[in-house]
């Protein structure tokens, strides 16, 4: 592997030569895929799904209103709107439009993409609106009046940056942003936390906390829970380790601000959640005699006073892992997974905060997914749940813990499921590990091997769970294809240990798991190597690069979207330094050896036969640099290997900033797969 890189010039994101090269590659791909006779009708059917008026408008409860952001054919960039629960129960609710992003983009001549809003509790009268230019992670922030439905002329405004901001009170916020030299970490995220008062320049705002240059970021937030108002600050040391502090303003420190920080003394890799009188700690390593993956409950004040008496709310086993938790006013909703199928319980603390009890919340069909969409812990025990499955469109449920439940919304079928089945199998990796995977498609005992798409991610403790996919259904399943999800190591399907088994130099375990699933699919007669495709994005794009260069004989086509591919320079590109804890540090000789071995970009060889590959990225992706995909495409072309490349000019790390772009990208992927696998 040579250290020379003749394609460094493609890392110049907006450089004229690089963009000219991108335009040429895009034209080549369009000539092949967009010109295919099946492309236009497929794209139209996919766009129909994305724009459908009978989609579920998922909401967030803020006081008396349910808030929703909505895109369709008439609202390409979308509208932020709200309604009441009474209206929401209707088939066609009356919505109050708060902000029309299309109109704003037209008026200001910017390709604004909605990135959310943070309303001010408990009045919910103002919001901090986040807007991205064409889908990037960096945003501008503007204060918005929910009563007048207008931006506040002299309100809080922050220029474009990877900003963290949140309300403290009516006239004060915590903010971390780019205020000049020294204000950002090496990863490009806020290094400082400031208390910013209305009407003062942000540069003169009060500094309350600083992280180190090598940390990922600093953060601060205010908890306005009545009776338990608290301020917290902290720093992310890397992607998985952090420190959290209670911030008090009692003058005891003697500093200019009079702020004192008290460390919440848990392991750096643990997750903390302070709510009311409770402190919940999710373990990523053993602590206090409890295994990795456990959830522990402490009394908040007692813990800070040194009393570490706890109750165990969840203990994992070989097949069961914690998926998440959500508070209501009096209860904790606990989400767990057993062999990647969901289970929901309600946990209730006793009067003194101890003696927790538990009951099941809802029955969930096998091989289905259930997720807590929203709760309002300040006010009530209301909850919203989304229930879906691979062949089961989403239904939105609302209930009160201990009371009745109702189905508020039911999504219609979006694709023909006749003859399709769902099954879960287990492959055996070379080291003997059982790796679960889901198969969605026709009954292959009757049809024989057929075109199959295998999807994976395998990183950052991200779990791939059952869900209804209308684009996948129309683009792939309806045409006779089979879809497979591999729950490989590196993910979170079996908790932190499953993730940590593929960290750093152990990353090949994830690659081996994915290859084992591919081989198992062939052994079961579901497909053959020439009819098996693979797809993944971001870290999953690294996985695709590994399959291309390590196991090309297993696949007939590969798709890598917004991929990470040059493992020797990722830390120098955009947010890459924040992932060193996942992969290793290329500047550390001890890590560089395994990173070069992992790096798909450096493993491409002239004398190997590779399956056709489609590489997709975005010029506006300010998380994973488009240079990864650009350079890999250029190297494959140089050596005469079959490769197509498409770079969307907008869309950020999602690859698409609106439904038109999303439909186009999906149609490109499925057209490519159909041409090579069917």
Inside any domain, residue 373: yes
Averaged over 3-7, what is the pLDDT?
A: 85
- Say how far apart CA 215 and CA 241 lie, in whole Å: 10
Inside any domain, residue 346: yes
Which pLDDT band, with edges at 50, 70 and 90, does 259 fall under?
A: confident
In this structure, the answer to whether residues 374 and 474 fall within a common structural domain is: no
Q: What is the mean pLDDT of the chain?
A: 95
Which pLDDT band, with edges at 50, 70 and 90, does 225 fall under?
A: very high
In this structure, the answer to whether residues 212 and 345 fall within a common structural domain is: no
- Say how far apart CA 652 and CA 570 lie, in whole Å: 17
Backbone angles phi, psi at 639, to 5 degrees: -90, 5
Q: What number of helices (H) and strands (E) belong to the chain?
A: 15, 37
Number of structural domains in the chain: 4
pLDDT (tens digit, 9 = 90+) per residue, 473-523? 999 999 999 999 999 999 999 999 999 999 999 999 999 999 999 999 999
In this structure, the answer to whether residues 290 and 342 fall within a common structural domain is: no
The catalytically annotated residue of 187, 242, 538, 618 is: 538
pLDDT (tens digit, 9 = 90+) per residue, 602-630? 999 999 999 999 999 999 999 999 999 99
Share of the chain above pLDDT 90, in %: 91
In this structure, the answer to whether residues 398 and 422 fall within a common structural domain is: no
In this structure, the answer to whether residues 655 and 573 fall within a common structural domain is: yes
pLDDT (tens digit, 9 = 90+) per residue, 339-389? 998 899 999 999 876 789 999 886 556 666 889 999 999 889 999 999 999
| pLDDT score for 367 | 61
Share of the chain above pLDDT 70, in %: 97
Averaged over 42-71, what is the pLDDT?
A: 96
In this structure, the answer to whether residues 517 and 651 fall within a common structural domain is: yes
Q: What crossing angle do the helices spanning 659-677 and 39-51 adopt, rounded to 10°?
A: 140
C-beta separation of 632 from 600 below 8 A: yes
- Say how far apart CA 125 and CA 413 lie, in whole Å: 38
For residue 655, pLDDT over 80 is answered with no
The catalytically annotated residue of 625, 653, 664, 676 is: 653
Bridge partners, residue 484, by sequence: 439, 454
For residue 80, pLDDT over 50 is answered with yes
C-beta separation of 383 from 346 below 8 A: no
For residue 313, pLDDT over 60 is answered with yes
* Cα torsion 615, 618, 621, 626: sign: positive
Which pLDDT band, with edges at 50, 70 and 90, does 251 fall under?
A: very low
In this structure, the answer to whether residues 250 and 282 fall within a common structural domain is: no
For residue 2, pLDDT over 70 is answered with no
In this structure, the answer to whether residues 492 and 515 fall within a common structural domain is: yes
pLDDT (tens digit, 9 = 90+) per residue, 156-205? 999 999 999 999 999 999 999 999 999 999 999 999 999 999 999 999 99
| pLDDT score for 446 | 84
Which pLDDT band, with edges at 50, 70 and 90, does 95 fall under?
A: very high
Q: Look at residues 253, 288, 316 and tell me which one is the last residue of a structural domain.
A: 316
In angstroms, the Cα distances linking 166 to 121, 138, 150, 200 are: 10, 16, 19, 16
| pLDDT score for 609 | 98
In this structure, the answer to whether residues 173 and 33 fall within a common structural domain is: no
Which pLDDT band, with edges at 50, 70 and 90, does 650 fall under?
A: confident
In this structure, the answer to whether residues 234 and 356 fall within a common structural domain is: no
Question: For 111-120, 150-159, 399-408, 490-499, which range has the lowest pLDDT when averaged over its residues?
Answer: 399-408
Inside any domain, residue 282: yes
Question: For 270-284, 326-340, 614-628, 646-660, which range has the lowest pLDDT when averaged over its residues?
Answer: 646-660
Question: Against a cut of 0.85, is the pTM above it?
Answer: yes
**Cα radius of gyration rounded to whole Å, the chain:** 25
In this structure, the answer to whether residues 450 and 550 fall within a common structural domain is: yes
Which strands make up the sheet holding 392-400, listed edge to edge?
368-375, 382-389, 392-400, 405-410
Q: Is residue 249 annotated as a catalytic residue, yes or no?
A: no
Q: Is residue 538 annotated as a catalytic residue, yes or no?
A: yes
| Strand 271-275 to 278-282 pairing | antiparallel
Inside any domain, residue 63: no
Q: Look at residue 569 and give its three-state secondary structure.
A: coil
- Nearest CA to 320 out of 141, 492, 522, 447 is that of 492
Inside any domain, residue 672: yes
For residue 645, the domain's CATH number is 3.40.50.1820
In this structure, the answer to whether residues 426 and 356 fall within a common structural domain is: no
Q: Is the peptide bond before 234 cis (omega within 30 degrees of 0)?
A: no
- Say how far apart CA 250 and CA 95 lie, in whole Å: 45
* Cα torsion 263, 267, 269, 272: sign: negative
Judging by beta carbons within 10 Å of its beta carbon (0-12, 13-18, 19+), is residue 418 exposed, middle or buried? exposed
Inside any domain, residue 517: yes
| pLDDT score for 444 | 87
Inside any domain, residue 460: yes
For residue 1, pLDDT over 70 is answered with no
- What range defines the domain where residue 357 resides? 334-413
Inside any domain, residue 131: no
């Amino acid at each position: 592997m040579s250290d020379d890189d003749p394609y460094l010039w493609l890392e110049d994101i907006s450089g004229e030569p690089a963009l000219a090269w991108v335009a040429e590659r895009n034209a080549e791909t369009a000539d092949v895929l967009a010109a295919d006779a099946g492309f236009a009708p497929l794209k139209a059917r996919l766009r129909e799904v994305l724009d459908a008026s009978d989609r579920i408008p998922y909401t967030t409860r803020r006081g008396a209103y349910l808030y929703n952001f909505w895109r369709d054919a008439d609202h390409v960039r979308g509208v932020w709107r709200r309604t009441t629960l009474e209206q929401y129960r209707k088939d066609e609710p009356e919505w109050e439009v708060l902000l029309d992003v299309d109109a704003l983009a037209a008026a200001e001549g910017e390709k604004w993409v909605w990135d959310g809003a943070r309303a001010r509790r408990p009045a919910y009268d103002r919001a901090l609106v986040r807007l991205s230019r064409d889908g990037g992670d960096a945003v501008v922030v503007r204060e918005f009046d929910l009563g007048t439905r207008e931006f506040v002329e002299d309100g809080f405004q922050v220029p474009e940056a990877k900003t963290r901001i949140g309300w403290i009170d009516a006239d004060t916020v915590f903010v971390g942003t780019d205020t000049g030299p020294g204000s950002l970490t090496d990863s490009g995220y806020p290094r400082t936390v400031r208390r910013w008062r209305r009407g003062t320049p942000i540069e003169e705002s009060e500094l309350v906390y600083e992280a180190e240059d090598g940390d990922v970021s600093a953060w601060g937030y205010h908890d306005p829970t009545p009776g338990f108002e608290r301020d917290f600050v902290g720093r992310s040391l890397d992607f998985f380790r952090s420190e959290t502090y209670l911030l008090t303003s009692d003058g005891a420190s003697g500093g200019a601000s009079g702020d004192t920080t008290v460390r919440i003394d848990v392991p750096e890799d643990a997750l903390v959640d302070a709510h009311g009188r409770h402190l919940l700690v999710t373990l990523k390593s053993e602590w206090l005699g409890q295994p990795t993956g456990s959830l522990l409950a402490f009394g908040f004040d007692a813990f800070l006073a040194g009393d570490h008496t706890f109750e165990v709310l969840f203990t994992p086993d070989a097949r069961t892992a914690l998926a998440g938790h959500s508070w209501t006013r009096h209860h904790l909703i606990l989400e767990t997974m057993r062999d990647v199928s969901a289970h929901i319980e309600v946990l209730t603390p006793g009067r003194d905060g101890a003696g927790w009890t538990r009951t099941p919340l809802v029955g969930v069909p096998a091989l289905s997914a259930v997720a807590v969409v929203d709760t309002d812990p300040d006010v009530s025990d209301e909850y919203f749940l989304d229930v879906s499955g691979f062949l089961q469109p989403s239904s939105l449920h609302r209930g009160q813990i201990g009371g009745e439940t109702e189905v508020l919304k039911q999504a219609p079928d979006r694709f023909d499921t006749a003859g399709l089945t769902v099954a879960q199998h287990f492959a055996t990796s070379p080291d003997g590990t059982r790796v679960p995977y889901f198969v969605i498609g026709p009954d292959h005992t009757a049809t024989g091997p057929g075109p199959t798409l295998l999807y994976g991610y395998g990183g950052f403790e991200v779990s791939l769970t059952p869900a209804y996919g209308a684009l996948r259904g129309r683009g792939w399943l309806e045409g006779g294809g089979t879809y497979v999800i591999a729950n490989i190591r590196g993910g979170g399907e079996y908790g932190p240990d499953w993730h940590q088994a593929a960290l750093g130099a152990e990353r090949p375990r994830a690659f081996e798991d994915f290859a084992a699933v591919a081989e198992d699919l062939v052994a079961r007669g579901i497909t053959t190597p020439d009819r098996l495709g693979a797809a993944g994005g971001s870290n999953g794009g690294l996985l695709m690069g590994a399959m291309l260069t390590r196991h090309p004989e297993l696949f007939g086509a590969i798709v890598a979207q917004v991929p990470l591919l040059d493992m020797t320079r990722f830390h120098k590109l955009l947010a890459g330094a924040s992932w060193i804890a996942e992969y290793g540090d290329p500047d550390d000789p001890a890590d560089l050896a395994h990173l070069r071995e992992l790096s798909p970009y450096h493993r491409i060889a002239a004398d190997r036969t590779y399956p056709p590959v489609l590489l997709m990225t975005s010029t506006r992706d300010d998380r994973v640099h488009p240079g990864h995909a650009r350079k890999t495409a250029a190297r494959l072309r140089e050596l005469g290997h079959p490769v197509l490349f498409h770079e969307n000019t907008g869309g950020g790390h999602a690859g698409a900033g609106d439904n038109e772009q999303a439909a186009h990208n999906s149609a490109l992927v499925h057209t490519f797969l159909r041409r090579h696998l069917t």
